[in-house]
Structure 1
Amino acid sequence: MQKSIFEICKKKREVLKYKACSIRGPLVWQSPSRRLTQPIVFSEAGYIIQNIQWTSGKDFTVERGQQQIEEYMSTWEFHESWLHWSDYLQEEELKYSKRYHYRVRWSIPTCRKPIPQATASIYFIIEISKIKPPTLPVEVFFILESNRLIHRPGQCRFREKWLKDIIESKMILMDSITF
């Protein structure tokens, strides 16, 4: 029995609609009340992207920001040989917000080379709005060294390969320079 063109098109529309909803799902903005009560968890190809409950603007301190960055990074998957340390860099005053800059350096020390030849840095920025209510969570984003792409916690999956690529590119550069 042959299906009519109408039935085939209808079926294709249903499939496309389903796919569009599954793709669009993680991008739907949640209401402020939901954001205050639960961390956002998205799914990426069978992997759950985790996030933490970020502090509100009124409760924010430089130390609390650093603790929360450490807490957020503990949700990432990376090999146990990676070590990291974080630094508070500066406060930036903008017209409608305040930004707090942090740097987290990553390396893989070994028994043969306990002092790493190269490190990879991730720069975190915590932004507190002067316009939004102080009870809302702070805005957080991070940028990897030598990259321009801005990552937001809970919206992308951290990949250990990013750190390896940065260190590898530094090693290649150092090998090409003769002293």
Structure 2
Amino acid sequence: MDTESSKSLNTSDCDYEIKNIDWISCKDFTVEAGEQHIRQYMDTWDIKHPGWLYSVQFLQEQEQEFKKQYHYRVQWSIPTQTDPIPRATASVYFIIEISTIKPNTLPVEVHFLIESTRSRHIPGRTRFREKWLMDVLESKTLLMDTIDF
């Protein structure tokens, strides 16, 4: 069930394979399994900088009319020897949805958002870009540099 799957995206300037995983079925879902699958999915991302570290935190469960949503936050940072606790982090918010009206043998539905953006990304349809994380870190660092504490 946890094998990697992918599809190709043809663009004018290159061919790029958008990677995905086989997400857990609704009936087998637990908060812990959700976290495990998020980690597995993020392992498919093309991250170039070797210093990135992240932590995953379950935030909340929300009951809606025909589904349940499970919200997670993944905080990314690049700690260094001179800055072991970075001043800025970049968060990626994952939402895992379980339908209460569709067959529970179907996989969960997943989407994610990058902090400070409104675009909703869907695994297997969106090519993750490390630049999104770097942009958040740079914005926060620039803002902090303008404030005197």
Q: Name the TM-score, length of structure 1 as normaliser.
A: 0.77
- Aligned residue number for residue 64 of structure 1: 33
Matching residue of 1:28? none
RMSD: 1.4
The answer to whether the aligner puts 1:132 opposite 2:98 as a matched pair is no
Map 1:19-168 onto structure 2 (within 5 A).
39-44=5-10, 45-78=14-47, 79-168=49-138
1:164 counterpart SS class: helix
CA contact (8 A) 2:4 2:19 kept: no
Q: CA, structure 1 residues 112+38, in 2 after alignment: closer, same or farther (shift >3 Å)?
A: closer
Q: Judge conservation of contact 2:111–2:120 (CA < 8 Å) in 1.
A: yes
- Structure 2: gaps spanning 5 or more residues: none
5+ residue gaps, structure 1 = 1-36
Name the CA distance, whole Å, in 1 between partners of 2:56 and 2:4: 26
The structure where strand makes up a greater share of residues is 2
State the distance in 1 between where 2:60 and 2:50 align: 29
Q: Write the deviation string for residues 14-45 of structure 1: whole angstroms up to 9, x where unpaired.
A: xxxxxxxxxxxxxxxxxxxxxxx983423253
CA deviation string 1:41-100 (max 9, x = no partner) = 232531101000001100000000000000000000112210001000000000000000
Q: What is the aligned length?
A: 143
Distance 1:113 1:130 in 2: 46
Q: What is the percent sequence identity of the aligned residues?
A: 59
What are the superposed Cα offsets for residues 101-156 of structure 1, whole Å, 9 maximum, x if unpaired?
00000000011111101000000000000111000000000001011100000101
SS in 2 for 1:39: strand
Greater helix content: 1
- Structure 2 counterpart SS, 1:149: coil
